[in-house]
Amino acid sequence: MIFEERLTSYVTQIERALDAALTTADCRGQESIVEAMRYSALAGGKRLRPVLTLEFCRVSGGSPADAMPFACALEMIHTYSLIHDDLPCMDNDDLRRGKPTNHKVFGEGMAVLAGDSLLTYAFETAAAAQIPSDRAIRAIGVLAHEAGYYGMIGGQVLDLAAEHRQISHAELTTLQDMKTGALIRAAARMGCIVGGASQEQLQAAETYANALGLAFQIQDDILDIEGDEAEFGKPIGSDEKSGKSTFPGLLGLDACREQVRSLTDEAIAALGVFAENTFLTDLAESLVGRRK
C-alpha cells in the first residue's frame, strides 16, 4: 500500500473510532459534557500519535485493530492536554485549529471537566481493549507514565516555569522531550507492546520516536517563523510575540533545518530491525517537509 493510502485509511479509522467512543447515545443525561469532549476530540489534527500506535503494532506483527483502543486513548489524552493548556490560567488561547478554544465555547468550568473526562475516559477505553491482559496492563502503565509528571505534564510544568525567562538549549530540549516527545514515545511503545515486538524492536521504536518528536517540535518552531498562516493553521510569529524560547531563537534557522534533517535520518536509521518500515520512513520524511 502506498504511504498516502495507508495514512488516509488510518486517519479515517481513528476518527471513526473516536466518533463511536464519544457518542451521546446512551450517555445517561451527560450530553453536555460529551458534546464538549467531542468538540475538541473531533476537531481534526494530524492524528500523528494514534497513527504511530497502529503502525508500530502492525510492523511488530499485530493487527492495527488490536491497538485501536490505545490509539484512541492517546488521542484523548493529547486532546485533554490542549484543552487545559488553552485555559486562561495556562496559555490563555482563544483559537485552536482555527476554531474557538473549548472554554470559549463551553465556559471554563466545563472545559476543565471536559479535559478531566477525556483523560479519565482514555483509561476506560484502554482498559476495555480485547487483548491479553498482561499486554494491556503494560500499555496502560506506559501511557500513564508518559502522560504524567515524568512526561507530558512535567513538560507543561517546565513550560509554565519558563514563561517569563529565557531558557537554555538544553532546558528547551528537555522541556520539549517531555511536553511533546512523551506522548509520541508512548505511541510507539504502546504499538510495540500490543503487537508483541521484541525487546530490540521496542528500543528501536523508542529511538525513532525520540528523534521524530524532537524533529517535529523544531519544525513547528521553524513554521512559526516562516510558515504560511493559512496552511499552518496558527498565527505566524506567535512564539516571538509571547516571548517563548524557541529552537530557532537559540540556534538560528539554518542550524534548526540541519537538526531536523539529521534527527529525521536518525529516526529512519533506527527502523532496520523492522522487516516492514517504508510507511514509518515515509512518515518521518513527510514531517520534515511539512508546511502545516
Interface positions with a second copy (CB under 8 A): 27-30, 32-34, 37, 80, 84, 87, 89-90, 107-110, 112-113, 115-117, 119-121, 123-124, 127-128, 133-134, 136-137, 140-141, 143-145, 147-150, 153-154, 156-158, 160-161, 174
Q: Around Cβ 249, how many Cβ atoms within 10 Å?
A: 18
Helices 31-41 and 64-85 meet at what angle, rounded to 10? 100
Closest Cα to residue 215, out of 48, 80, 40? 48
Q: Closest separation between CB of residue 226 and a second copy, Å?
A: 30
Pick 65 or 112: Cβ nearer a second copy: 112
Instruction: Give dist(CA 137, CA 99) in Å, integer.
Output: 36
Pick 62 or 69: Cβ nearer a second copy: 69
Residue 115: partners with Cβ closer than 8 Å, 6 or more residues away = 80, 81, 83, 84, 102
Strands 99-100 and 95-96, sheet pairing = antiparallel
Closest Cα to residue 214, out of 168, 144, 261? 261
Long-range Cβ contacts of 169-176 (<8 Å, 24+ apart): 169/247, 169/250, 169/251, 171/245, 172/245, 172/246, 172/247, 172/250, 173/214, 176/213, 176/214, 176/217
Pick 149 or 198: Cβ nearer a second copy: 149
Q: Closest separation between CB of residue 137 and a second copy, Å?
A: 4
Cα dist. 218→109, 255, 267 in Å?
33, 10, 14
Pick 6 or 135: Cβ nearer a second copy: 135
Q: Closest separation between CB of residue 247 and a second copy, Å?
A: 20
User: Phi, psi at residue 186, to the nearest 5°?
Assistant: -60, -40
Q: Closest separation between CB of residue 85 and a second copy, Å?
A: 9
Q: Closest separation between CB of residue 29 and a second copy, Å?
A: 8
Pick 120 or 238: Cβ nearer a second copy: 120
Residue with cell string 528501536: 204
Q: Closest separation between CB of residue 118 and a second copy, Å?
A: 9
Pick 5 or 26: Cβ nearer a second copy: 26
Pick 87 or 105: Cβ nearer a second copy: 87
Q: Around Cβ 79, how many Cβ atoms within 10 Å?
A: 26
Q: Closest separation between CB of residue 126 and a second copy, Å?
A: 8
